[in-house]
Amino acid sequence: MPLPQQKFREIIFQMLYSFDIASPEESEIVKMLMKELNVSRKNVFEALVKTKAVLSKKSELDDIIRKLTKEYAFERIQVIEKNILRLGAYEIIYDETIPAKVAIAEGIRLCRKFGTPESASFVNAVLDSIYQMSEGKEVKDQEIIEAFDVLDKQG
């Protein structure tokens, strides 16, 4: 039975998060996710392939996020939101199989599940700006600034 895309994306996010906060062995993370999420080795290895693809573009993705969040220091972005932004940005910019609107909606969903409602607004504003940028449209800084203000009040 194929794994739903939402669950597949959650595995990728959890791998990105794990690699960001620690340096786990791939075999350890594969075993742990198989057990905790009750998914097959094949599914976890497929997620690992996409995780590595995202990580291969990490510095580029972080630069894009930094550029859009210039009013809010990149280092202040929480690890959860940072990795959701990396995954969403990767899907918008590099993964032609996923529509940008789906990547944005999934980023919001992941924030609501693993982060906070306030962080979901922030991720929405940043990912939407990345989408606008990828389409050659003007990015409206005001949405991101307003989302920062909400985050600042939260934290």
CATH architecture of 58-154: Orthogonal Bundle (1.10)
Q: Give the predicted TM-score (pTM) of the model.
A: 0.89
Helix axes 5-21, 100-114, angle to 10 degrees: 60
Note whether 5 and 87 are within 8 A (CB): no
User: How far is residue 72's CA from residue 79's CA, in Å, rounded to a whole number?
Assistant: 14
pLDDT digits (tens, 9 = 90+) for 34-82: 999 899 999 999 999 999 999 999 999 999 999 988 777 888 899 999 9
Determine the pLDDT at residue 50: 97
The percentage of residues in the chain with a pLDDT greater than 70, rounded to a whole number, is: 90
Determine the pLDDT at residue 150: 62
Domain ranges of the chain: 5-56, 58-154
pLDDT digits (tens, 9 = 90+) for 101-136: 999 999 999 999 999 888 898 899 999 999 998 988
Q: How confident is the model at residue 154 (pLDDT cuts 50, 70, 90)?
A: low
User: How far is residue 152's CA from residue 149's CA, in Å, rounded to a whole number?
Assistant: 5
